[in-house]
Amino acid sequence: MSTQASRAAARLMLSPAVILLLMWMIVPLAMTLWFSTLRYRLLQPGAHPFVGLRNYVFFVTDPAFSTAIVNTLILVGGVLVITVVLGILLALLLDQPMWGQGVVRLLVIAPFFVMPTVSALVWKNMFMSPTSGLFAELSKAVGLVPFDFFGQAPLASVIAIVAWQWLPFATLILLTALQSLDREQLEAAEMDGAPPLKRFWFIILPHLARGVTVVILIQTIFLLSVFAEIRVTTNGGPGVASTNLPFLVYARSLLQFDVGAGAAGGVVAIILANIVAIFLMRAVGKNLDA
């Protein structure tokens, strides 16, 4: 339908929006790149001389850097595994006809509406606190020593909190995927002699592949940049035990007032995110093709 002229007109009309979006993206990116090559410390006033890649060398050779990379990957991977596995189980459960289905579904979605800082605070103070938390009280009630979650297992605790927040999203996506499964396929499998577990393995799970892919791709984008939960609970510690890449960038630029190193860290984070994205698209992207 589109003629040469109408296509040209379309481009012209779209250009303001595209240019705005491009500037929205390009300007901060360019400034970050620019700052990452300067010696720019907030506590040292005066000129900001060009230092080439020295900020990058400084950021990458920092022993905290490799820990932060590993922590970032463990955090993303751990939350993905927990939310996908539990999400599938919850979706299967919620798909069963039961009394009060609507209310139960609403309750399951609820954590998604709680702000990350708030939920992290609630977990920290009301559940996981070794002195006054619910888990501590429970341990004491059965005669155990309360477990110091953020001291002993800081990264695992953060993973648990973040997984709790993202579980509703995974459940919701997987539930809709499950509901789009043709019931007759399950009945056919039943008549073909497949018991429930085999029906799950051979029919339901392949059908959910696309939903799982969507969950993985979308969650990864957000999980790479988890910050508030760490800031509120462990503050990256003890030491750097629960520091991920975004938190390291924050620590460099705003705790040590080194804008240059922080910017360099930001660029490294962008590169890491792109590596992960390429890897993921290769691994699971084909599930999105019809």
Partner 1 sequence: MGMIELSKVTKRFGYVEVVPPLDLTIEDGEFCVFVGPSGCGKSTLLRLIAGLEDVSGGRIVIDGADATAAPPAKRRLAMVFQSYALYPHMTVRKNIAFPLRMAGMPPEEQARRVDAAAKVLNLTPYLDRRPGQLSGGQRQRVAIGRAIVREPEAFLFDEPLSNLDAALRVGMRLEISELHERLRTTMVYVTHDQVEAMTMADKIVVLNAGRIEQVGSPLDLYKAPKNVFVAGFIGSPKMNLVSGEGARRFGAETIGIRPEHVRVSTTEGTWTGTVGVAEHLGSDTFLHVHGTGLAETVTVRVGGEIDLRHGSRVHLTPDPDKIHRFDANGLRLP
Can you tell me which of 195, 197, 282, 289 binds partner 1, judged by CB under 8 A?
Answer: 195
User: Of these, 101, 152, 176, 185, which contacts partner 1 (CB under 8 A)?
Assistant: 185
Q: Does 187 bind partner 1 (CB under 8 A)?
A: yes
Distance from C-alpha of 253 to C-alpha of 187, rounded to nearest angstrom: 59
Q: Nearest-CA neighbor of 223 among 286, 276, 281, 267?
A: 276
Closest distance of CB 204 from partner 1, Å: 11
Q: Which is nearer to partner 1, 137 or 192 (CB)?
A: 192
Q: Does 203 participate in binding partner 1 (rule CB under 8 A)?
A: yes
Total residues interacting with partner 1, rule: CB under 8 A: 18
> What residues have CB less than 8 Å from 131, skipping those under 6 apart?
146
CB 123 within 8 A of CB 97: no
- Compare residues 201 and 279 and give the one whose CB is closer to partner 1: 201
The least distance separating partner 1 from the CB of residue 193, rounded to whole angstroms, comes to 4
Q: How large is the angle between the packed helices 63-95 and 54-61, nearest 10 degrees?
A: 70
Q: Which residues have CB under 8 Å from 3's CB, separation 6+?
A: none
Residue type, 203: I
Q: Does 97 bind partner 1 (CB under 8 A)?
A: no
| Options 93-101, 200-208, 235-243, 263-271: segment touching partner 1 (CB under 8 A) | 200-208
Residue 203 Cβ, how far from partner 1 at the closest point, in Å?
6
What's the CA gap between 44 and 86, in Å, rounded?
50
Determine the Cα–Cα distance for residues 149 and 96; give it in Å rounded to an integer: 35
Shortest distance, position 290 Cβ to partner 1, whole Å: 8
> Which residues make up the interface to partner 1 (CB under 8 A)?
182, 184-185, 187-195, 198, 202-203, 206-207, 209
